[in-house]
Amino acid sequence: MEKLLVVSALKDDCYQKNAAHFLEKHLEDVKSGAEKFAQMSGAKILFLLPEGVKAEGLDNVRFGICTPTGDNPYSCAQQLKGNLPRPMIQDDYIAEYEGNEVNVITVESAYWLAKGTDIKHITVNGEVKEIAMGTKLSEVVDAADAKAVLVGGLKGRLVLPEQLGDFEVSTDFLYDSVDVIPKTACIVDTLIKHLGNTWNYSCGKCVVCREGTLQFKTICEEMVAGKAKPSDIDLLKEVGELIKDGSYCPYGQNWPQAVIDAITLFADEFDAHIRRKTCPANVCYQKGATYVILPDKCTGCTDCIDECDEMAIEGKKGFIHMIDQDMCESCGKCVEACDEEAIVIVEGKMPKLPKKLTRVGKF
Amino acid sequence: MAEVRLTIDGRQITCDENKTVLEAALDNGIYIPHLCYHEDLHPNGGCRLCVVKQEGVDGVITSCSTKVKEGMVIQTKDELAERIRKLSCDFMFKTHPSECTGCPKYGKCQLASISQYVGDTGRNLREMKIRASADESNPLMLHEMYRCILCGRCVRACGELRGVSALKFAKVDGRMRVVVDGESLAKADCRFCGACVEVCPTGSIRDKVGVFREDLPRDLSLVPCRGECPAHIDIPAYLRAVNEGDCDKAVAIIREKVPFPHALGLVCNNRCEDGCKHKDLNSPVSIRNIKRFAAEHDETQSWKEKYLKVDDRTGKKVAVIGGGACGLTAAYYLNKKGHDVTVFESKNIPGGHMTSGMPEYRIPTKAVLDEIKVIEDSGVQIICDHPIDNAAELKKEFDAVLVAIGTSVGKKLTYLPGSDLPQVYSALEILQAQRLNKEIDLGDTVNIIGGGNVAFDVAGTAIRMGKTVNVICLEKDASQASPEERDAALEEGTNLFDSHSNEAILGDGKVTGLQVHKISSFHFDPDTRALVEEPIPDSTYVIPCDSIVFAAGQVTGLTEDFGIELNKFGYPIDPSTGASGYKTSVDGVFSAGDVITGTRFLIDAIAGGRDVASLMDQYLGGDGLIDETLTERCADPYIGRIDGFAEIERNEMTERDAAARKMDFAPVSEGFTCDQASCETGRCLQCDLRLQLAPQKFWNDYVAVGEGGEQ
């Protein structure tokens, strides 16, 4: 079988832009590295680039979508055939495309082959930096005011700024990006966006990654809609660990860690979202904050009770109505239903409210 | 083939080095749950159910995609592995409809079976039902992808196994789905082989209800052409052989079931084509014409050596009365089974209706005699001009007797005044006279009474004899006949008098005409079978003619003198059932073919001949097994993609112009050209390929194997 060497620039994700940088700044090095590699096996070279990337000066170019499995030969062969990428991880498996045996080299490996391994490219907050081996991440990123740092993007970890010194750049460094999460950010909100990306980049081949990303994204979304339960935290941790063990490819084996990191490091913030339905960073729950029924204004008419879809309002005719904060979705429909203007959003201190059913006028 | 030893769940196992851990376990009755694995497909590793613990390796390994290695120690019931399986099951069930009982796959669903085995954790995961509606647009297969759990077996079967890739993965609203790669299956160049249905573990991709018969065994039901054929000829196999340009092989395959490939290729009523699934796409594959093509291009007859080989002689003697298709078929198989067979034919030529009951231009005598010659070459003795008067008497000289005399006497409607005039004939008399070169006085104009296929056979024959031909029948448009045969005769100049009823044959010592009237409707009384008609008043007139032919059916012509019990219509009966059957009232005397079924089609007679031969062989002490294999099968499952496959039109044979063909008795068509045969065989959906796929198994199937092995 003829050999085909695919030079893949598809291993980027939404956090890292290293491949585009290699193509833009180090194209000659990438080409010569790839040629060196191809000569060893007598392979033809084909460049597989993300859609939209300029390919001037390259002969045999095809386009695909960025994927965590952009370095897997079967995954690349699938893209060449016009299919969605999905990896094949087997000792003796030979990926095939148009009768050729497909081998893959990433643009980074090609670059290293040409230039040696002195420099590692890392995308820091969206900008590609060339970093000397041996450098500690704490020297690369200024994280003094950060809440946390996402090291390695979709396949990475979430760490506190003071942990950055533990990461030293080397050739087998697993992480290609560093993103600082500012103090003002809500960790739950950040995680939801992160999980949206994680889900999007899951190739869908294996059940636990495909369904796990969707479940995690959905459960975290429920945390800011007041629907999640305190037990969901343990659920995420337990299932997250199992997904790490049970996933087919390194992507699935790695992405749950950032989620576990987040809920471990910022347990209080998650708790606030789930139990108290508040966002300490004031990012989530902006739609209605906390609603209460003022006991001196409520006439016990039950109009708001009828209006509430969540059955979150307790009371009966002639008794002061009360909102069960655990059930309230902050939709605000009760406010409109109340003719007495008795239902308000609390800002700051909670007013004194009845704890049990109390007749109107007796509180 | 080197072997390796490994330990699975404490059991020492030796197996081929190319096996995977999963295969090694399953082969030895150790069940590891699996869903995306299918023994005919490349391992995928996606379902995560087959994960197991390998000693010395962190975490778990994927057993379906890990090859066995010497000294491996595997635990299938490892705690982590079981937790991962349960999680995978939990996840899949959150996307799958929760109600099983309403699903057509209920009881045959691999997902349900696995979840039963793996169990449920009751985790508070979220419901993730798939919002997809059922797609019933295709006439053969239906997609209910809201049941899909994305094992990808259909995609791999279609792509890897068939090379078609009509199905693919795509993200729909961000979620992975299996979709058709085009507007419809037809537009996606689907070859409709059914592999996707066969491998789907759930009820997501299914055959539409009614596409396959449920009253047949699997190998006949899933290959409807073969199922519909009374002799169950392996049709897809011989179409494939013709497609590969190997007509000898095709004929060998046909001959495994029937000794008259050419005759059938010419005149079979092709019920196989009624079964052909292609009819739901546009029109059925032209199977009969391909059979004719194969028989006419069978140059080396490479099957002959095996075909003529017969079993050791048993010393038993069998007499077959009637040298038609049924009798000769039975004779061939009985001779093959080692019995000495003598066929007694009353006419001067064997072949029955094939040589004397159908027109020459539909089935040339030479074609039939060539095929009969093969039967004689195999050792069957045929004695012509030898009518048998009494089957019971004959039985005294033979160990077994078969009555296969067919229905060789044409009926005349004797209640019609004038039916005793000399120029009044039955259809068979005309056809036989022409085929056997006998003189017959038809005059210039022939009136044929009857509206079935035989009426038009006579019409075509009389036209070729240079006569003016009128067909008079009760049915509007002669709807009893097949439209092709009717139209062919009309094109050749036959005059049709439909919705006509007969009053009398006119003539004084010589036929001069037929007195008829028109009718507006008619039916037969269900009790008395008498004709009840609605005449149009004052419509009586005379159609002048010189002769009358009754094409009003045929009878056996048997009487009690024949020595076996008959019913009131002259058909032999089996006293144990009271109806006609393969057995008769005399032990050792059998009956088959038209003589028990009434006039049917050639293929029915042949199928009857096969069945009765098997029965008679058993009567004579044999095993009754008459199936033979004359050639190997090697169907390539990789059928590849063909642009616009579903829309390729059926090929039709080029026929000679009516004006030319009515001048002689040569065949109406030369048959398919090589290109037509190649194109037409290429239209075959190859339904039989589906039988190559391993049937779906459930966990109890494997455990049962293991227990059996240990005993």
**Partner A, chain B 230-249, Cβ-Cβ below 8 Å:** none
Between chains, do B87 and A206 touch, taking CB under 8 Å as contact? no
Considering the domain architecture, whether residues B15 and B42 belong to the same structural domain is answered as yes
**Does residue B311 form part of some domain?**
yes
Considering the domain architecture, whether residues B387 and B322 belong to the same structural domain is answered as yes
In percent, the amount of chain B with pLDDT more than 90 equals 92
In percent, the amount of chain A with pLDDT more than 90 equals 74
**Does residue B695 form part of some domain?**
no
**Does residue B631 form part of some domain?**
no
Q: Chains A, B: CB contacts under 8 A, how many?
A: 93
Residue B705 has pLDDT above 60, yes or no: no
* CA–CA distance, B572 with B589 (Å, rounded to integer): 11
> If you average pLDDT over residues A3-13, what whole number do you get?
95
Residue B135 has pLDDT above 80, yes or no: yes
> If you average pLDDT over residues A136-147, what whole number do you get?
92
**Does residue B502 form part of some domain?**
yes
Domain enclosing residue B247, as ranges: 218-303+649-682
CATH of the domain at B490: 3.50.50.60
Between chains, do B51 and A246 touch, taking CB under 8 Å as contact? yes
CATH of the domain at B261: 1.10.1060.10
Residue B710 has pLDDT above 50, yes or no: no
Span of A164-168, A325-329, B181-185, B268-272 with lowest mean pLDDT:
A325-329
The answer, for A172 touching chain B at a CB cutoff of 8 Å, is no
Residues B361, B667: contact at Cβ < 8 Å?
yes
For tokens 């647009």, name the residue: B137
The reported pLDDT for the residue numbered B63 is 96
Reported confidence tier of residue B709, pLDDT bands at 50, 70, 90: very low
Considering the domain architecture, whether residues B422 and B402 belong to the same structural domain is answered as no
* CA–CA distance, B309 with B337 (Å, rounded to integer): 10
Instruction: Name which of B152, B155, B182, B149 is nearest B167 in CA terms.
Output: B155
The answer, for B75 touching chain A at a CB cutoff of 8 Å, is no
Domain boundary among B550, B582, B606: B550
* CA–CA distance, B326 with B350 (Å, rounded to integer): 12
Between chains, do B48 and A247 touch, taking CB under 8 Å as contact? yes
Between chains, do A206 and B128 touch, taking CB under 8 Å as contact? no
The reported pLDDT for the residue numbered A41 is 87
**Does residue B142 form part of some domain?**
no
Which residues of A fall within a CB distance of 8 Å from B67?
A: 91-92
* CA–CA distance, A41 with A220 (Å, rounded to integer): 48
Q: Where are the alpha helices (DSSP H) in B625-698?
A: 658-661, 674-682
Considering the domain architecture, whether residues B377 and B465 belong to the same structural domain is answered as no
The reported pLDDT for the residue numbered A153 is 94
The answer, for A217 touching chain B at a CB cutoff of 8 Å, is no
Reported confidence tier of residue B189, pLDDT bands at 50, 70, 90: very high
The reported pLDDT for the residue numbered B350 is 97
* CA–CA distance, A74 with B330 (Å, rounded to integer): 58
Considering the domain architecture, whether residues B277 and B325 belong to the same structural domain is answered as no
**Does residue B191 form part of some domain?**
no
Burial of B512 (0-12, 13-18, 19+ CB in 10 A): middle
Residues B312, B340: contact at Cβ < 8 Å?
no
Considering the domain architecture, whether residues B578 and B531 belong to the same structural domain is answered as no
Average pLDDT, chain B: 94
For testing contact with chain B, the best of A79, A210, A211 (most B CBs within 10 A): A211
Reported confidence tier of residue A284, pLDDT bands at 50, 70, 90: confident
Between chains, do A83 and B168 touch, taking CB under 8 Å as contact? yes
Considering the domain architecture, whether residues B572 and B496 belong to the same structural domain is answered as no
Considering the domain architecture, whether residues B513 and B430 belong to the same structural domain is answered as yes
The answer, for A205 touching chain B at a CB cutoff of 8 Å, is yes
pLDDT digits (tens, 9 = 90+) for A68-121: 999 999 999 999 999 999 999 998 899 999 999 999 999 999 999 999 999 999
- 3-state class (DSSP) for residue B169: strand
The full DSSP string for A203-257 is -S-SHHHHHHHHHHHHHHHHHTTT---THHHHHHHHHHHHHHHH-SSHHHHHTHH
Helices (H) and strands (E) in chain B, counts: 25, 25
> If you average pLDDT over residues A28-46, what whole number do you get?
94
Tell me which H or E stretch contains B10: none
Domain boundary among B494, B527, B550: B550
Considering the domain architecture, whether residues B270 and B251 belong to the same structural domain is answered as yes
All domains of chain A, ordered by start, with CATH? 2-115 (3.40.50.11540), 119-276 (1.20.1440.230), 290-346 (3.30.70.20)
The answer, for A191 touching chain B at a CB cutoff of 8 Å, is no
**Does residue B27 form part of some domain?**
yes
- 3-state class (DSSP) for residue A47: strand
pLDDT digits (tens, 9 = 90+) for B96-123: 998 888 899 999 999 999 999 998 888 9
Reported confidence tier of residue B708, pLDDT bands at 50, 70, 90: very low
CATH of the domain at B12: 3.10.20.740
Considering the domain architecture, whether residues B420 and B520 belong to the same structural domain is answered as yes
Reported confidence tier of residue A332, pLDDT bands at 50, 70, 90: low
Three-state SS string over A340-358 comes to CCCEEEECCCCCCCCCCCC
Residues A69, A251: contact at Cβ < 8 Å?
yes
Residue A152 has pLDDT above 80, yes or no: yes
In angstroms, the separation between the Cα of residue A334 and the nearest Cα of chain B is 28
The structural domain count of chain B equals 4
List the single residue in A83, A211, A247 with the smallest CB-CB distance to B128.
A211
Which residues of A fall within a CB distance of 8 Å from B51?
A: 246
The full DSSP string for B261-311 is HHHHHHH---THHHH-GGGGTSS---HHHHHHHHHHT--S-TTHHHHH--P
Residue B493 has pLDDT above 60, yes or no: yes
Reported confidence tier of residue B711, pLDDT bands at 50, 70, 90: very low
Domain boundary among B64, B90, B116: B90
Considering the domain architecture, whether residues B474 and B563 belong to the same structural domain is answered as no
The reported pLDDT for the residue numbered B504 is 95
B510 Cα distance to chain centroid:
49
Considering the domain architecture, whether residues B444 and B319 belong to the same structural domain is answered as no
**Does residue B170 form part of some domain?**
no
A198 DSSP assignment: H
Count CA atoms within 13 Å of residue B251 on its CB side: 26
